[in-house]
Structure formats: C-alpha cells, structure tokens
Amino acid sequence: MSHCPRPYAQFKVLVSSAIALLLLAGSAVTAHSQAFSSSSSAPVTFVAPESDAFAAGGSTRGGVPPTALGGIRPLSRLAFGSDVSPLGVGLSLTTNISSHLNIRANGSYFNYSGANFSTQGFNVTGKLNMQSARASVDYYPFHAGFRLSPGVMFRNDNQGSMNLAVTPGQEFTINNHTYYSATGANAVKGAGTFGLGNGSPAFTMTTGWGNSIPKSGRRISFPFELGVAFIKTPTLNFNLTGDGCDKTGAYCVDVATNPQIQENIAIQVAKYRSDIEPLKTYPIASFGVAYNFNIRHNAPQYR
C-alpha cells in the first residue's frame, strides 16, 4: 500500500500557494512602480561613464561608475531555493524589490510514520505530518549579509496523531495511579492527537545571513536563517477504552466511563500540555542553497 501520491499532491499545493502569494505581491509592486513612472514628466539626465565630465570627477558620487551604484530593477531577478528546518524540507521563491529588500515565499513539508516508543506502560505508535507555507520580507540594512525577516505563516497544518495500547495483563500509569490492563478484547487501548497552532496563521520573525539574490551577481548562495513562529498554544488530547483492573484482575472497570480514571486522565493530559506549551514559540532554524537568475532585462537604475 503506497501513500506517496497524496503527500506529493499536498506539497504541490503548499508550493503553489507560496508562489501565488509571491507573484501577487510582485504584481502590486510593479503596478505601483509603473504608476509612479507615468506620473513623472521631469526628464532624467544620465552621465555616461566614458564622458569627459565623468572622467573629470564631475559625478556627485565621487567618480563611481553609474553601473556600480547598485541600481537593480525591481522584480528583475528570481531565486529558487531548498532548505531543511524544524518545519520540514522546504522550497523557497525569492525576488528583489530594491538593494535593501527582497520578498520571499516558503513551503515546507515533512511526513513520518512509525515512531514507536513506550511510556508509563503504554506502547505508542506516532505519526507526524508537517505542512506549512509562509511569506517574508527580507530587509538588508547593510545591503548584503545580515538580514531581518518579518513574515506570516499563512498555512499551518503542523500536527500529529498517535495510537496507544497496553499489553494485556500489564500495568500502566495515569497521573501516578497504577492500573492493570484486562486481557483479551477488553485490553486497554486508545488514540490521541496534537497540533502546533491548530491550523491558525502565525506571525514569524527571523534573522539570518546570506542573500538568495547576491548583489555581487553570483548565481548560487547558501542562506542561513534563525528565528521563531508565534503560533497558538499547542493542543493535545487522548482517550482510552477497555477495562482497567486491580493487580489480581478480579475487579475491573471501564476506563472510558469510570469517574476516577477519567479525572486522572484529565490531570495527565494537562501535564502533557504544560510540557509542550513552550512550543507556542516554535523554533525556525534552516540552512539551504539557492540559485538565482534574471527574469527580465536589468538596465541600470541611476540614483
């Protein structure tokens, strides 16, 4: 039995959402730029690098060639990247707005089944499903290298599920109370879920080093990012069915309806929720590689 087509389709939806958001932002910037250009009627005078005036140091920029003034046409370059982070394996799409500013979209995905472990007498089989998409503004206060990147995780489907089972006749502990699982079909078992943000959008704030669209013109870069996503308080729930017994197995009760056991389950769940509460500030630490290229003629923009 194969589950590959569904995860692949989900990942394509994540990446498509990220690309659509980036292109929408880019279209808005382009429209604003065209409107500004059409409203200005003042002629612009260019000083050619080979002119006598430039050779004589007539430039107000101290003799620096205009092509070295860092003028890059907005939305003229595009970078595709890949990275690994606690959100999963990611793909990114970045375009330039100015020498200080890029906009970037990321889609991340990770799916893992078969995590087996034992705790407090329960045999647990877990599944992790991480899917997210976010958009960020990369601000480079010094043109290159260091950056600040506020953003929004607009898709947040980071969650997991688990199945629990107690070996028939074996003990299990809930809120420091020990019970024994019944034998046969009445053995104790259950299921649980947890979520990181409950599907709600989240503000993100990261910093990093490296520009996916280097001002030097290099095609390949290796950006690094470190920060957090401010998600809602993580959720966790589980329920149990079957019979819990005393050590002799002579006295058993239904764990799904017994008031004392249900109270202990509620207290235990509250403890687990307290343990994972720090994840509401979810860490983002990624390292990746990006390749950039021109998507339209990049005539120098003299400033």
DSSP H stretches of helix in 183-258: none
In a domain, 212, yes or no: yes
Q: How many Cα atoms sit within 13 Å of 137 on the Cβ side?
A: 11
Q: Which residue's structure tokens are 């006749």?
A: 169
pLDDT for 16 equals 53
Mean pLDDT of 219-225: 96
In a domain, 303, yes or no: no
In a domain, 275, yes or no: yes
Instruction: Name the strand (E) or helix (H) holding 19.
Output: helix 5-39
* DSSP bridge partners of 276: none
Domain carrying residue 219: 5-38+46-294
Between 76-90, 163-177, 286-300, the lowest mean confidence (pLDDT) is in: 286-300
Mean pLDDT of 241-260: 95
In a domain, 302, yes or no: no
* DSSP bridge partners of 79: 94, 292
Q: What are the pLDDT digits (tens) for 101-139?
A: 999 999 999 999 988 999 999 999 999 999 999 999 999
Give 270 or 59, the one with higher predicted confidence.
270
In a domain, 272, yes or no: yes
CB atoms within 10 A of CB 207: 13
pLDDT for 260 equals 95
Q: How many Cα atoms sit within 13 Å of 98 on the Cβ side?
A: 11
pLDDT for 198 equals 84
pTM of the entire structure?
0.72
Q: How many domains does the chain divide into?
A: 1
Whether pLDDT at 2 is above 50: no
Q: Which residues fall within 8 angstroms of residue 247, CB to CB, at 6 or more apart?
A: 171, 180
In a domain, 54, yes or no: yes
Q: What is the CATH number of the domain that holds 98?
A: 2.40.160.170
Helix (H, G, I), strand (E, B) or coil at 190: strand
CB 117 within 8 A of CB 124: yes
Distance CA 164, CA 162 (A): 7
| Tokens found for residue 145 | 């290298």
Q: What are the pLDDT digits (tens) for 55-80?
A: 334 434 444 444 333 457 899 999 99
Q: Which residue's structure tokens are 């959402």?
A: 17
Whether pLDDT at 6 is above 60: no
